[in-house]
Chains A and B, each alone.
Chain A
Amino acid sequence: MFFICLIPFFYMVTQFFADQANPVEYVTRATGDWSLRFLLITLAVTPIRIIYGFGKILRVRRMLGLFAFFYVLTHFMIYAFLDLAYSNDVGFSELASYVYNDIVKRPYITVGFIAFLLLIPLAVTSTNGMMKRLGKKWRSLHKSVYLVAILGVLHYFWLVKKDLTEPVIYASILAGLFAVRLAKKVDWKKLKDAIFTKQSSNEI
């Protein structure tokens, strides 16, 4: 499983050196795509468990989440060091101001950067020790991953030139995953009873 999750990474590396027309843009996009995909895959674990009752899948959730973080981190590093610093011949001292300007000026980068920052504490607190130490707080802290996913999809929506097909696909999948969770929370029997009693009272 670990190695399967690394396949996209190694594929990107080979493509990067395979005489691409726009190699830097390629790896920036590819790492971005895989960040979103791994976020969605991680968020799909609970719905899969709800629908199929496949409890064992919970064990891989942490690894999937950490891979999402790995791709987001790579995405950010490529943007900052390869695209901003190396491509533009910018020294380390200037790099911070370049990144800062981008974050302040460009909403899609602001949103992406916030998502990246929000993921850091989740990655740091992913160990068993941290889980135990935080107890109930751990659960509520890790709920921020929903926000990260929303910001990630928004980041994609904002940056495309015109064709919204792919951002829409990611957004729909995310909405679907949320829908399954919500459906689980709703007490169907209670709802049914409520509707039923309402209907019958209407009849009278």
Chain B
Amino acid sequence: MLIKKEKLSDIKENEITDESVYKQRREFIKKTGILAAISVVPALMVSSCADAAPEQATLTFKKTSHGKDLKPTAIKHVTTYNNFYEFGTSKSSPAIAAQSLKIEPWSITVEGDVKNPGKYNLEDILKKNPLEERIYRFRCVEAWSMVIPWVGFPLADFIKQLEPGSKAKYIEFQTLHDPEQMPGQKSSVLQWPYTEGLRIDEAMHPLVMMATGVFGKSIPKQNGAPIRLVVPWKYGFKNIKSIVKMRFVEQQPKSSWELAAPLEYGFYANVNPKVDHPRWTQSRERIIGSFRRRKTDMFNGYADEVASLYTGVDLKKFF
């Protein structure tokens, strides 16, 4: 008994002095026989889940310098800790329930003020838009964060191919609406289809990506297969998944979360440590896979690139 107690206190000190918490935890579990024995059961459960998950196809893409100094979150956490209410409201359910989604064939319908509207097959879009990898920080409105190596293409390139007109002030995005494939849509927890929007100049910003992959492979269904939006300076819920429609419109679209709770979730949803969510602080964030929090940066650390989009905008009012 004494030996076990000593080790428990050991690890506490280690955690305070050392940064690589993740590795220590593994070591700690290995060292303490009792805990290891008990944790065998959940560990087996996790590994069997991972085995059941389908193999993701390897993608061809160009590496870029975006986020080369960032350390990606463990792939296991990125693919099992998801908010995707179409497949249930718990973090763990999308990884299982999303496997019912059919992603082939897939197309995006383009409507509104563009020269080239129509239904675009994903394959055709990808032929014109070569893939590249960018490592971005990802900050959820629930005050947790990850670092994710996305594979995708700049949304701006695709928008240019569509040739928007002068009335296209905003883009509205929609997720697939099919309760048979997306069982979470049978509940009215949010207004379906999941809808998001960007101002056209935000959408044209070079940081914005349409992602079809993570960690060098095609994107898992729970992460928004086959194609999703990535806007790294905005809260996670703006990064709409499994997109089937893009409308180029004059009026500011209403996003699903805005409709659900207008006082808590705004249209802009820029990561902003100075504007708290009414029920929790946004000044700090939990780092996924760790016991620690870190300070949240203005625009999620992309202020140099994007702050100019919001000159003269009262970010407290337009949160």
Contact = CB atoms under 8 A, between A and B. Distances in A.
Interface in B8-47: 16, 22, 25-26, 28-29, 35, 38-39, 42-43, 46
B169 interface: no
Nearest to B146: A21
A24 B287 CA distance: 10
B129 to A, nearest CB: 31
Contact of A162 (B39, B89, B144): B89
Contacts of A161: 142
A15 B46 CA distance: 12
B53 interface: no
A87 B291 CA distance: 6
Nearest to B34: A14
Given A14-B42, A162-B189, A21 B81 contact: yes
B310 interface: no
A82 interface: yes
A21 B280 contact: no
A25 interface: yes
Contacts, number: 70
Contacts of B43: 18
B29 A17 contact: yes
The interface residues of chain A, by DSSP majority, are classed as helix
Interface string A68-103: 000000000000001000111100000000000000
Interface residues of B, number: 35
A193 interface: no
A187 interface: no
A203 interface: no
A15 B279 contact: no
A19 B35 contact: no
B291 A23 contact: yes
A53 B168 CA distance: 72
A163 B190 CA distance: 9
A159 B144 CA distance: 16
Contacts of A89: 292
A128 interface: no
A158 interface: yes
Interface in B276-315: 279-280, 284, 286, 288-293
Interface of A: 10, 13-15, 17-25, 82, 86-89, 106-108, 158-159, 161-163, 165
13 contacts: A19-B25, A19-B29, A20-B289, A21-B76, A23-B290, A24-B291, A25-B144, A86-B16, A87-B286, A106-B279, A162-B189, A163-B89, A163-B189
